[in-house]
Amino acid sequence: MNYGSWILGNTTIYHRRTLLGVGGFNPQLGPFADGLIRQVIVAKQGACFIPEPLGAWRRMETGYSALTGSNPETAKTTCSVTINLMRTIYRDLLPESYVQRWQRRWLFSSVTAFAKKIEKEWIVGLRVLFENHGGLQALVLRVACSIIRVTSWMVQLLAGIFLLRGDICRRVLFKLHPSAIE
């Protein structure tokens, strides 16, 4: 757990007594209920890892998890409830350094999801407004879309620098602009 959760929900097989013994799925956490409980079970009893592909995660913008992460209020509430549980009920299992790292990563993921959602909404809106226009209006649309994308990238980059630091920030920068890392 030094590097975060590496277990995906769709590949997890739970032992019922173990799951219930650590509190089960907390409905206050919405789509993250399984994420926290997996971390708790691993910290308390360990896990068995099978080094074979057992599932695939298809991330969709309309999925339960994505809608939670891209909504600032919902993401903040989920983060607060999770942090509270980690620092109270599960404090003996999850050290404060892990809680802080998890919080930074959650906030970064939420900022990224929100920035991408807003970027897409703005670009779709501009395309509707400038639909069937050519010439100067088409150029304005292209420039405006480029500015929106750069702004979204900058928000994600600044969030990465502020929240994640180090190696993870380098990966984000590489994803946004591969030649910047070379």
pLDDT, tens digit (0-9, with 9 covering 90-100), for 82-138: 999 999 999 999 999 889 888 888 888 888 888 888 888 888 888 887 777 777 877
| E strand residue ranges, 38-142 | none
So what's the pLDDT on residue 169?
55
**Contacts with 39 (C-beta within 8 Å, 6 or more apart), sequence order:** 1, 5, 94, 102
So what's the pLDDT on residue 165?
66
Model confidence, pTM: 0.75
**Contacts with 104 (C-beta within 8 Å, 6 or more apart), sequence order:** 163, 164
Q: Which amino acid is at 127?
A: R
Exposure string over 65-91, b if 16+ CB within 10 A, otherwise e: bbbbbbbeeebeebbebbeebbeeebe
